[in-house]
Structure 1
Amino acid sequence: MRVASMGTVVYLTDPADIKTVFSGDPRVYHAGEANSMLRGLLGDTSVLVVDGDVHRDRRRLMLAPFARDAVAAQVDLIAQIAADNIAGWPCDRFFAAAPKMSEITLEVILRTVIGTTDPARLAALRVVLPRVLRIGPWQSLAVMKPELLQRWPWRRLRRAIADADRLLYAEIADHRADPCLAERTDALSMLVRASDEDGREMTDRELRDQLITLLLAGHDTTATGLAWALERLSRHPAVLQRAVRAAEDGDDDYLDAVAKETLRNRPVVFDVGRILTEPVELAGHRLPAGVMVVPGLVAVHADAQLYPNPERFDPDRMLGATLSPSSYFPFGGGNRRCLGATFAMVEFRVVLREILRRVDLHTTTELGEKPRLKHVIFVPRRGARIRATPKPQASV
């Protein structure tokens, strides 16, 4: 395809070709360059927009908060955040689940990733960060061309970014000054403590860029996946019934299968790109430098040869399945696979479990909601409208 703002884009749908891209030399397949249009928001040092040795070293510094043990330590807090939000849901009437999921995932990030404890700053971040992250087509122009932020049509976005930066830098300063920093388990504390082989720690600017990156990559994406899960479950009574039993019995395997099948059946992100820095032979063609090659996530996840009856929402297909990283990649792949993938899947399972334990989700015979493209993610067109009734407290 020829795209005015991106040049030549080549979509790939053969897992063998996708494997070539994901396992290819990072010096040849540049993902950071493909994400460069996000620099205006994420900053020049974000792990999403850098390549080569810089990306490798920064990624290593960011691994600790997303290791399995570190994620497990946050489960109780995630569950409490979800429970508090669910308690305020409308009773026995239809409402859009997507905004509620966004509230939960934002609070999870504020408390477990940024580790904000000051009530006033926490309240301010709840207001300011959505303004930064809620970027429409008009605001996207300034993200792609940061110089536009100095012009009056984009003054609101400029102020929102400035307000967010002020709050985040204050949080970073508090973390650095905390005498109990070594005992804290939030991601920012671990990033402040992290150092490379030469003992170099991240600067305040680098920490700010990574926090904004984690917010952008881990907020709307996880919230949208959860909204799709509720939309899917409300239209599949048998799957819903089994998921409720799994939530009550502590069957994490089935809840994980629901999450995986949701991300296959209703992909949140539609592709992951790499820009070639030199010519390569790929899919039987000689592709020149400068071309963007794109593993086509949506097409692959809907391939009937890989997933029989792909339109069917069937978590059973994920139970015990060995999923190839070149035919199932909701979190990208290769050396650029999402750092927070483990965290996102645990959050998905814990929040879904709390919902199914605390409310009766009503089923509907309405047609499934169509996906709508919002920036770079597919959201439910009507916000994943559901109807839920609180369960008796004794059963929770």
Structure 2
Amino acid sequence: MSEATVAEVPAPSPRAVRLPPALPAPMALQGIPFAFARRQLVAWLSRRYGTAFTLNVPMFGRTVIVADPQLAKQLFMAPTEDVGNIQPNLSRILGSGSVFALDGTEHRRRRKLLTPPFHGKSIKNYEKVFEEETLRESATWPEGRPFETLEPMMRITLNAILRAVFGAEGEKLDELRRIIPPWVTLGSRLATIPSPPRTFGRWTPWGRIAEYRRRYDEVIDRLIDEVRADPRFDERDDVLALLLRSAYEDGTEMTRQEIADELLTLLAAGHETTASTMGWVFERISRHPQVLARLVDEAATDDNTYRQATILEVQRHRTVIDFAGRHVYAPTFQLGEWVIPRGYSIVVAIARIHETSDDFVDPQRFDPERFVGTRPPTFSHLPFGGGTRRCVGAVFANVEMDIVLRTVLRHFDIETTTAPAEKVHSRGVAFTPKAGGQVTLRRRPQPLA
């Protein structure tokens, strides 16, 4: 075929746009409930419009919400040239060098560097860390009266990820323990609202975020220097050392700022969501005596089949992260019967799928048995998102939750309760038990195993 002939071939015509039904209300009236009562809004609109509808909200603009596993699969499996990272995203809080900020080829290259520390043998090495941190934190837990598990779980998961990332204890890690929790709490709340044009001073929320960042960067800069100067640098297996030794296929390395942003991503994402899920674990099992009894019996063995099923069911029944999104880059993107134009965001309503999917019989019932001996359907069970942007630390988190729960069950007797279920509370990004996942414990005279 000649060049002239090639030039005469017309480009394919863009498909006619066909959007799901839209909520007929001004952006502000849509944005307020989306920011502060997102779950209730999505549930109400799903009942009114079905599994797909259109919103127009601050930050994300015109957005299609989907609550159907097949539409989620189509979105998550689509080419990254057609749909990419949602804009804006958590890189506003975590930094432009975070994996959350990257797209396409750059995103794939970064994930390839991040994957080794969070899979296979590396995870096995962390199991002792998870147990040690649980025992250390639980040494001062009160007995015989209700106490909130959420904050202790936050400390356990933060200490565990700090040890995994830096491979050591020390004064500088103490500084990170002081910085990270309030930073993550504040950042989670600010992540769902538009950013101001400037911080307006150190006493404003965005000013405090900037101050936390300044202190964090100072600590990380010193830690990088110390790790590089370690005579055993080439033998270290902590995440920081692995990142400092790693390189892309073309031989280039991550910059210090990129490493700092990526470590912050791991520290933030690696402790809040896991701790929030654990808060729900204790809230759920204390209200389901039969589930708790089976977990206790299993904890005296080396098996973890029912414990894993329970964690999977908690992740479904009390979803901590309720949506994952993409941005349309192609002229149009076909999503089921809908045709979405360039510039739109598409958000998968994860919690809504978990609550309504036909893949789960009686989805409102808490029932770990549904996952005994079987894995949940990939696109109906999405606690870590899906596709190329699925959480890189998913395996790390699930093993951590398994070991933490086993350790608590072996060392404590958990009292059951007939109290009403704790309400769902939004921390901004994560959803937690409103009363902090309260339980009443008594220490066992002898551990179960």
TM-score by length of 1: 0.94
Q: Which moved more, 1:345-354 or 1:319-328?
A: 319-328
Offset from partner CA, 1:73-102 (integer Å, 9 cap, x none): 111111111111111111111111100100
Evaluate the alpha carbon distance shift between residue 302 and residue 141 of structure 1 in structure 2; reply closer, same or farther with a 3 A threshold: closer
Evaluate the alpha carbon distance shift between residue 127 and residue 52 of structure 1 in structure 2; reply closer, same or farther with a 3 A threshold: same
- CA–CA separation in structure 1 for the residues paired with 2:355 and 2:159: 33
- CA–CA separation in structure 2 for the residues paired with 1:275 and 1:282: 13
State how many pairs are aligned.
Answer: 393
Return the letter of the residue paired with 2:406: R
Contact persistence 1:270–1:296 (CA under 8 A): yes
Which residue does the alignment assign to 2:407?
A: 354
Seq. identity, %: 36
Q: 1:155 aligns with which of 207, 210, 219?
A: 207
Give yes or no for the alignment of 1:368 onto 2:368. Answer: no
Offset from partner CA, 1:153-192 (integer Å, 9 cap, x none): 2433322221112112211221122121222222112111
- CA–CA separation in structure 1 for the residues paired with 2:407 and 2:92: 37
- CA–CA separation in structure 2 for the residues paired with 1:130 and 1:149: 23
Which residue does the alignment assign to 2:435?
A: 382
Evaluate the alpha carbon distance shift between residue 103 and residue 138 of structure 1 in structure 2; reply closer, same or farther with a 3 A threshold: closer
Matches within 5 A, 1:100-139: 100-117=152-169, 119-135=170-186, 139=190
Evaluate the alpha carbon distance shift between residue 295 and residue 143 of structure 1 in structure 2; reply closer, same or farther with a 3 A threshold: closer
CA shift for structure 1 position 14: 2.2
Contact persistence 1:274–1:292 (CA under 8 A): yes
Which residue does the alignment assign to 1:184?
A: 236
Which residue does the alignment assign to 1:76?
A: 128
Return the letter of the residue paired with 2:354: H
Contact persistence 1:116–1:171 (CA under 8 A): no
- CA–CA separation in structure 1 for the residues paired with 2:240 and 2:225: 11
Evaluate the alpha carbon distance shift between residue 352 and residue 62 of structure 1 in structure 2; reply closer, same or farther with a 3 A threshold: same
Evaluate the alpha carbon distance shift between residue 286 and residue 316 of structure 1 in structure 2; reply closer, same or farther with a 3 A threshold: same
Q: 1:10 aligns with which of 64, 71, 84?
A: 64
Q: Which has the larger radius of gyration?
A: 2
CA shift for structure 1 position 139: 4.7
| Aligned-residue RMSD, C-alpha | 1.9
Evaluate the alpha carbon distance shift between residue 149 and residue 324 of structure 1 in structure 2; reply closer, same or farther with a 3 A threshold: farther
Which residue does the alignment assign to 2:149?
A: 97
Q: Which moved more, 1:206-215 or 1:191-200?
A: 191-200
Q: 1:209 aligns with which of 261, 264, 267?
A: 261
Q: 2:226 aligns with which of 174, 177, 193?
A: 174
Offset from partner CA, 1:195-224 (integer Å, 9 cap, x none): 111222211111101011112211110000
Q: Which moved more, 1:181-190 or 1:349-358?
A: 181-190
Contact persistence 2:188–2:430 (CA under 8 A): no
Contact persistence 1:191–1:207 (CA under 8 A): yes
Evaluate the alpha carbon distance shift between residue 136 and residue 212 of structure 1 in structure 2; reply closer, same or farther with a 3 A threshold: closer
Return the letter of the residue paired with 2:64: V
Offset from partner CA, 1:314-340 (integer Å, 9 cap, x none): 111111223222111110111111100
| 1:148 match: secondary structure | coil
Q: 1:224 aligns with which of 256, 259, 276?
A: 276
Please state which structure has a larger fraction of its residues in helix: 1
Evaluate the alpha carbon distance shift between residue 342 and residue 205 of structure 1 in structure 2; reply closer, same or farther with a 3 A threshold: same
Which runs of 5 or more structure 1 residues have no equivalent in the other structure?
none
Contact persistence 2:415–2:440 (CA under 8 A): yes
- CA–CA separation in structure 1 for the residues paired with 2:90 and 2:300: 41
Q: 1:251 aligns with which of 286, 298, 303?
A: 303
Which residue does the alignment assign to 2:139?
A: 87
- CA–CA separation in structure 2 for the residues paired with 1:149 and 1:351: 42
Q: 1:44 aligns with which of 81, 85, 96?
A: 96
Offset from partner CA, 1:2-48 (integer Å, 9 cap, x none): 112211121112222111111101122112x43x3433321111101
Q: Which moved more, 1:230-239 or 1:171-180?
A: 171-180
Evaluate the alpha carbon distance shift between residue 152 and residue 355 of structure 1 in structure 2; reply closer, same or farther with a 3 A threshold: closer
CA shift for structure 1 position 146: 7.2
| 2:339 match: secondary structure | strand
TM-score by length of 2: 0.84
